[in-house]
Amino acid sequence: MVYCVMASSLWDYINLFNTIELDTISRDYEITRATSKYGDGVVLARVEGSKTLVYSNLLSSRRALYRVLGVGDDVSAYKKILEAMGNPSKPCERSFNDYFRKVEWSLWDIPFIKYYRVDGGYYLTGSVIVSCIDSVCNASFHRMMYRDEYSATVRIVERHLYRIYSSYMEEGEDTPVAVVLGTHPIVEIASASSPPYGVYELWVANRMLDNGLEIAYTPLYNIPVPVDTAIILEGRLLREHDWEGPFTDILRIADKKRKQPVFKLESVYVNKTMEPIVHAIVPGFMEHILLMGFPREAMLWDTLRKVVDVKAVRLTTGSGGWLHAIVSIRKRSEGDARNAIMAAFTGHPSLKHVVVVDDDIDIDNPMEVEWAIATRFQATKDLVIIPRARGSTLDPSGCDGIIDKMGVDATKPLDKPKELFYKIDIP
């Protein structure tokens, strides 16, 4: 079934799905419990001590993701994301004051949440941080750990925000930023993608919305933000660093404590046209996995289709939608599977394991994938090992991101009778 639903606001999207409305909940663990309990329902609640609602689990499945994107299958979703990344378009500009009003809030008025007992503090997980330098802007997800009423520590990995922050540091300056909370889900999907440096994710989101996104520039630092956003925090990433973590990451493993930049709050703005609401992305749950992994899966599919006849790709749920991939190909000649393995590691450098199967295997069925390995794989000729390669720091068995990678060719050998490799149908 093809979904062609393009709602006009965040609340329109929330109302598309089954919503479970809770009473006021604690900042400690309750959103994690509720999101786990209610499965594919969107959880909506007010957090004790804050002035806003929170929602969780909007993207609870691939089907929900397709509905938000207005497509019906993987390939259509991949193409929509890739086309937008390759052809971004600048949105219409609006007056900031027409959409937002300044409020005298502290960070404790925002629903910072403790998701797991191991977490080192209270966090924002749905925070999209926007920063600009010269003519380059970037929007990307970064978790924020509550420090005091007017500051938080921000986890920054060595990607585009880190590059902008480093450039300001070299000039002896703090980095102006806007923190976008409770925004359009297409903006979130675009912000979770990885276009080249210099391609602004809001321009990507605008293309995905058929030029329906509108932006405004913040009063203090003139940062372009989407007007369909519940709350904007404006401030600076200081040259000062403080401890951040531990924090439960996408693999449901505690990420280590480390020194990270400090965010200093200067102004809070709430939208005049919508109720204040913040996205609480529960770490390690399906919504986290899809937001982080699906845009990367699209890029992986794009890389693979240039070298083999690829049917389907999955970044597996068990690996956090990040470390392991299953690739289904229409094998034309010996060597196709090995080419697919090498292309997969190129298309997604964080990959640790990739299994390549034939197009008769359902890659969403782990039993079928295991059956293919059991019947079509021989380690002496079908195993690819790449020792001591750069991978993901999410893998706790590695050493600062240096890992061993493995590819498994579980495709049928073409020099043997085909009937040897087909499962007998139930009569």
Cα(138)–Cα(263) distance, integer angstroms: 17
> CB-based contacts of 90: which residues, under 8 Å, 6+ apart?
203, 206
Instruction: Indicate the DSSP class of residue 56.
Output: E
> Residue 270 in contact with residue 101, Cβ under 8 Å?
yes
Cα(58)–Cα(100) distance, integer angstroms: 24
Task: Please give the distance of CA 125 from its chain centroid, rounded to a whole number.
Answer: 11
* Torsion sign over Cα 352, 197, 154, 293: negative
Q: What pLDDT does 418 receive?
A: 86
Instruction: Tell me which residue of 197, 218, 232, 235 sits closest to 88, measured CA to CA.
Output: 197
371-383 residues labelled b (16+ CB within 10 A) or e (exposed): ebbeebbeeeebe
Q: List pLDDT tens digits, range 262-290.
A: 999 999 999 999 999 999 999 999 999 99
* Domain coordinates in residue numbering, the chain: 72-274, 305-421
| Location of structure tokens 């068995």 | 397
> Residue 282 in contact with residue 59, Cβ under 8 Å?
no
Radius of gyration of the chain (CA): 22
Q: What pLDDT does 1 receive?
A: 34
Q: List pLDDT tens digits, range 94-143.
A: 999 999 999 999 999 999 999 999 999 999 999 999 999 999 999 999 99
Other C-beta atoms within 10 Å of 315: how many?
24
Q: Strands 258-271, 254-255: parallel, antiparallel or unpaired by DSSP?
A: unpaired
Which residues of the chain are under the pLDDT cut of 70? Answer: 1-8
> Residue 286 in contact with residue 61, Cβ under 8 Å?
yes
The CATH superfamily assigned to 72-274 is Electron Transport, Fmn-binding Protein; Chain A (2.30.110.10)
Q: Is 364 a catalytic residue?
A: no
Q: What pLDDT does 2 receive?
A: 32
Residue type for 20, please? I
Q: What pLDDT does 425 receive?
A: 87
Q: What pLDDT does 127 receive?
A: 98
Q: Strands 402-410, 353-358: parallel, antiparallel or unpaired by DSSP?
A: parallel
In this structure, which CATH number among 3.30.70.20, 3.40.1670.10, 3.20.20.70, 1.10.260.40 belongs to the domain 305-421? 3.40.1670.10
Q: What pLDDT does 423 receive?
A: 87
| Location of structure tokens 């709350």 | 231
Taking CA atoms, 65 is separated from 114, 191, 297, in Å, by 26, 15, 13
Residue in 249, 302, 336, 382 annotated catalytic: 249
Instruction: Tell me which residue of 306, 296, 351, 279 sits closest to 85, measured CA to CA.
Output: 296
Shared fold status for 72-274 and 305-421: no
